[in-house]
């Protein structure tokens, strides 16, 4: 049972990584005017949704989506601040913290 639960979270982590890669590639696609970043965006999102769909077979939808969207949002915001020169304001850092806290509360609320 423990290995099964681990695989569900590994699959969800893969979906999160693909979302992050897809969103980062989207930034470099310049509004889908550059071919390869656009292709990478589409491929990553297709894989992200496929992995998320596999996760939803066994994990509660609210929890799985909260983890996927929350982790993706927080990590993309941090990538923007650290690597892309986006402002790291107190409000943004508070927002990232609140997203993470919200996901934690949903997980503590229980599930399967």
Q: Coil, strand or helix: which one is 73?
A: helix
Quote the pLDDT of residue 36: 98
| Sign of the Cα pseudo-torsion (40, 42, 45, 47, in order) | negative
What percent of the chain is modeled with pLDDT above 70?
96
Residue 1: predicted pLDDT: 59
Inter-residue contact 37 to 28 (CB < 8 Å): yes
Q: How confident is the model at residue 23 (pLDDT cuts 50, 70, 90)?
A: very high
CA distances from 34 to 5, 18, 39, 41, 49 (A): 39, 19, 9, 11, 23
* pLDDT confidence band for 2 (50 / 70 / 90): confident
């Amino acid at each position: 049972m423990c290995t099964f639960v681990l695989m569900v979270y590994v699959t969800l982590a893969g979906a999160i990584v693909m979302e992050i890669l897809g969103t980062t590639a989207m930034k470099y696609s310049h509004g889908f005017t550059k071919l390869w970043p656009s292709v990478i965006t589409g491929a990553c999102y297709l894989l992200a949704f496929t992995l998320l769909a596999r996760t939803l077979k066994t994990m509660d939808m609210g929890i799985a989506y909260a983890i996927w969207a929350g982790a993706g949002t927080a990590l993309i915001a941090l990538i923007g601040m650290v690597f892309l020169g986006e402002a790291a304001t107190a409000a943004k850092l508070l927002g990232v913290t609140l997203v993470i806290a919200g996901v934690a509360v949903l997980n503590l609320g229980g599930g399967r």
